[in-house]
């Protein structure tokens, strides 16, 4: 199968079935290497890039968006080749603009959405954001205010599609129903944690996305590296940080069975974890966060793996989910 392009839920835009996450850019990956990874991603057919206004971490919030902006500024059709996603919700503390520090906290206020959209556009050196995602739910802010802000940005040509991240199933339903009442487009996608080791999204988030025709974009597909061959790496003297070792020790039996199964079918654990996500028809594109081109290319190889039904059954036995969708998972 390899890299293919599919609609974002029921919407018309076509995105690659692997999404390039950029959280490591400027943090674990230099700007020069980040440029190489983005160029290589386009060569491999990946046109879906995800970032956030807060990425940059120890350097400076927004630094990752600036790196992407400088990459776009090289020209060569880069911006037009990318379906670009970024996010709003967290405070963006800019050392060069101290009065803004903690001035708007974590929220989805109209003030915050407008100001942070303008900031992202400047840093990304672009006139529009293809997918502008609410990075988290803000239960204290009314949907009248949120949807009015997004509608204004869409009419101004600054945002094409609105999306969500880390929403519960009922948050998705509320957002979509409130948008429908106003004749607005509503959410086109949800970005949520989902992997073999964390399948809680199967209860209500994935069913909600399917019901509303939304794309589903899993983050942390390898569970922070746990599903990338953690046991073997630990034995080789890698992943020996205390938190990693504690996590691996808690799941020693599961990981042992998982890695043995991966060895039996002849594919690396990290690639099997991605292939498992891609077999789900509701999944649009898992987000990968490569620090190197080699990691990028391994993820692309995963898109060509076809898992047999017997293997999928074994994976369910090793990493059982919540029992299906709510309420059948826990009620008659």
φ and ψ at 289, to 5 degrees? -125, 65
Distance, first Cα to last Cα, the chain = 39
The answer to whether residues 89 and 124 touch, using CB atoms and an 8 Å cutoff, is no
Record the tokens describing residue 236, joined without a space: 């080789």
Active site residues: 55
Provide Rg for the chain, Cα atoms.
20
> Which residue's entry shows tokens 């509608």?
151
Largest CA distance in the chain: 58
């Amino acid at each position: 199968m390899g890299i293919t392009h599919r609609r974002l839920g029921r919407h018309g835009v076509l995105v690659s079935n692997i999404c390039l996450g950029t959280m490591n850019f400027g943090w674990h990956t230099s700007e020069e290497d980040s440029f190489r990874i983005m160029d290589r991603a386009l060569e491999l057919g990946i046109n879906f890039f995800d970032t956030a206004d807060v990425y940059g971490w120890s350097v400076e919030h927004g630094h990752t968006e600036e790196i992407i902006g400088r990459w776009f500024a090289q020209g060569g059709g880069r911006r037009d080749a990318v379906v670009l996603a970024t996010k709003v919700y967290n405070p963006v503390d800019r050392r060069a603009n101290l009065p803004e520090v903690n001035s708007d906290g974590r929220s989805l206020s109209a003030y915050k959405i407008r100001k942070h959209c303008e900031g992202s556009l400047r840093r990304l050196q672009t006139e529009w954001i293809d997918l502008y995602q609410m990075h988290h739910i803000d239960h204290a802010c009314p949907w009248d205010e949120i949807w009015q802000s997004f509608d204004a940005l869409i009419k101004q040509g600054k945002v094409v599609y609105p999306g969500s991240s880390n929403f519960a199933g009922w948050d998705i339903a509320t957002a979509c129903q409130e948008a429908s009442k106003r004749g607005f487009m509503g959410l086109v996608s949800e970005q949520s944690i989902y992997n073999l080791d964390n399948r809680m999204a199967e209860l209500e988030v994935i069913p909600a996305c399917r019901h509303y025709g939304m794309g589903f974009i899993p983050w942390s597909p390898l569970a922070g590296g746990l599903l990338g061959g953690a046991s073997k790496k630990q034995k080789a003297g890698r992943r020996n940080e205390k938190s990693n070792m504690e996590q691996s020790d808690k799941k020693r039996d599961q990981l042992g069975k998982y890695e043995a199964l991966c060895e039996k079918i002849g594919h690396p654990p990290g690639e099997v974890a991605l292939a498992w996500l891609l077999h789900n028809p509701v999944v649009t594109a898992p987000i990968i966060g490569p620090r190197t081109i080699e990691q990028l290319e391994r993820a692309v190889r995963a898109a060509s793996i076809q898992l047999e039904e017997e293997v999928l059954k074994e994976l369910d036995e090793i990493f059982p989910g919540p029992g299906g969708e709510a309420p059948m998972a826990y009620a008659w």
